[in-house]
Structures are given as C-alpha cells and as structure tokens.
Amino acid sequence: MKLGTLPFSDLLEVSDDIYKNTIVSAKRARQIIQKRFDEEQANAELFDEEYTPSMVEEINDYVEKDKAITTSVEEFLNKELEWKKPESEDSLSD
C-alpha cells in the first residue's frame, strides 16, 4: 500500500482521537524500524569474518521494503494493532 493523502474519516473509524491514532502509528513505525535495524546488525555480525563470493552475492541482492510508517498505518487501519493507555497518564502527581 502506498501512503498518500489519508482521509480523516478512515482514521476516525478506528478511534475518535486523532492524536492517539497518530501516536499509535508512530510508535509502531519505530518498532518496525528497530526490528529491521536489529536484523541488519545480526546479518552484519556474520560478515565480520572473511567474505566469500556467496556472501557478496547476498549483499548485492537488495530487496526494497515498504516504509515503516506505511506498514504501521496499514496495520492500524486494518485494526491489527492493540494498545492501552498507560496508568501513569490517568493520575497526575505533584
């Protein structure tokens, strides 16, 4: 799914709070980015040793991935994400 202009009505079908919708999608995008980073780091550790021709070919096999925000908004609109309000926001302390 390409992310283009998104009607508010689509976002408001999931929740009436547009701020919450934005925060949930952004946090999910960060999770996706972190997961991709961790996977790349794990793969990079394998290449700390000697390079072989097959390893070089794997590096050259670039696969373009969807942007993290596109994936997170798609998951949000499909109601695949679960979230709950942290308890610390419910009570204010001085």
pLDDT at 43 over 50: yes
Q: What is the 3-state secondary structure (H, E, C) of the chain?
A: CCCCCCCHHHHHHHCCCHHHHHHHHHHHHHHHHHHHHHHHHHHHHHCCCCCCHHHHHHHHCCCCCCCHHHHHHHHHHCCCCCCCCCHHHCCCCC
In a domain, 93, yes or no: no
In a domain, 44, yes or no: yes
Please choose, from the candidates 20, 29, 37, 22, the residue with its C-alpha nearest in 3D space to the C-alpha of residue 70.
Answer: 29
pLDDT of residue 12: 84
In a domain, 86, yes or no: no
In a domain, 94, yes or no: no
Structural domain boundaries enclosing 72: 8-80
pLDDT of residue 94: 39
pLDDT at 53 over 70: no
Which of the two residues, 31 and 64, has the higher pLDDT score? 31
Q: How confident is the model at residue 11 (pLDDT cuts 50, 70, 90)?
A: confident
| Count of domains observed in the chain | 1
What's this model's pTM, rounded to 2 decimal places? 0.67
* 4-15 mean pLDDT: 80
Which of the two residues, 31 and 49, has the higher pLDDT score? 31
pLDDT at 89 over 70: no
